[in-house]
Structure 1
Amino acid sequence: MKEDTIKIAGFHAHVYFDTASQDVAARVREGLGARFEVQLGRWFDHPIGPHPQGMYQVAFLPNQFDRVVPWLMLNREGLDILVHPNTGDAVSDHTEHSLWLGKKLDLNIEFLRQVSSTSCDILLH
């Protein structure tokens, strides 16, 4: 049985970087903020939550998906990016329902099992 997309309240893109790629990540962030109606989250220079390396989160509504994700595909400049829906099930959203641009990183799924489905929202503030 297919899931109904009405359950998707929005999307998150997690843009991963390290010390060497931080300037690239800043350019991608500037491009996203200038072109789209997105909410740019805080910079994290270290692993946080389920994320294995530094990253920032970009939140956007379903009506932005067809513009934001193709732009990221063409302009990610080699960065690894996780894109996932927000359906209220953080584990499934980050695993079964996610897509990766670049290399798929190993997330700490156990962390997601132990916290509420809204755990990613803290990354925006």
Structure 2
Amino acid sequence: MEDTEITEIKRPANIHKHYHAHIYFDPQTLTFATSLCQQAGELFDLKVGRIHQKAVGPHPMWSCQISFTDSDFDKFIPWLDAQRNGLTIFVHGNTGDNLKDHTEYAYWLGESVELNLAMFGA
């Protein structure tokens, strides 16, 4: 029997004032992800960033950032989880400490992926 390490994926928790949700996608899911981001912005009146068709910053996949607050959290996160249709979504606190925001305050809807933390001095 092989030893396998089981890593628990941290689900989003409403413990910060400000958040970013990064919707990850690829060429096959671009249209769906674009629609999802637009819907989120319209339904919840949230700031939606650009649809990046390349890896940007610490994100290893194509992505779109959605900014939201603790007052949006309890309605937005369950909606996003229900609508994501298998996409991985990285959610993190936006506290001003980039390294902590992308490690200690990192949460996932779907599978987690390894971030490029070198830019934060990690």
> How many angstroms apart in 1 are the aligned matches of 2:101 and 2:74?
18
- Picking from 42, 46, 51, the partner of 1:38 is 46
Secondary structure of 2:121's match?
helix
Please tell me whether residue 19 in structure 1 is matched to residue 48 in structure 2.
Answer: no
8 Å contact from structure 1 (residues 16, 81) kept in 2: yes
- The structural deviation recorded for 1:30 is 2.2
How many aligned residue pairs are there?
108
Please name the residue that 1:110 is paired with: 118
TM-score normalized by structure 2? Answer: 0.83
8 Å contact from structure 1 (residues 84, 93) kept in 2: yes
Please tell me whether residue 65 in structure 1 is matched to residue 73 in structure 2.
Answer: yes
- CA-atom RMSD, angstroms? 1.4
- The structural deviation recorded for 1:83 is 0.5
Segments of 5+ residues of structure 2 without an aligned counterpart are 1-14
TM-score normalized by structure 1? Answer: 0.81
Segments of 5+ residues of structure 1 without an aligned counterpart are 115-125
Secondary structure of 1:63's match?
helix
Structure 1 ranges of 4+ moved more than 3 A = none
Secondary structure of 2:61's match?
coil
Secondary structure of 2:37's match?
helix
Secondary structure of 2:22's match?
strand
- The structural deviation recorded for 1:31 is 1.8
Please name the residue that 2:98 is paired with: 90
8 Å contact from structure 2 (residues 34, 51) kept in 1: no
Secondary structure of 2:29's match?
helix
> How many angstroms apart in 1 are the aligned matches of 2:117 and 2:18?
20
Identical positions, percent: 38
Secondary structure of 1:78's match?
coil
Q: Deviations over 1:29-60 (max 9, x none)?
A: 12202210210001110001100011010001
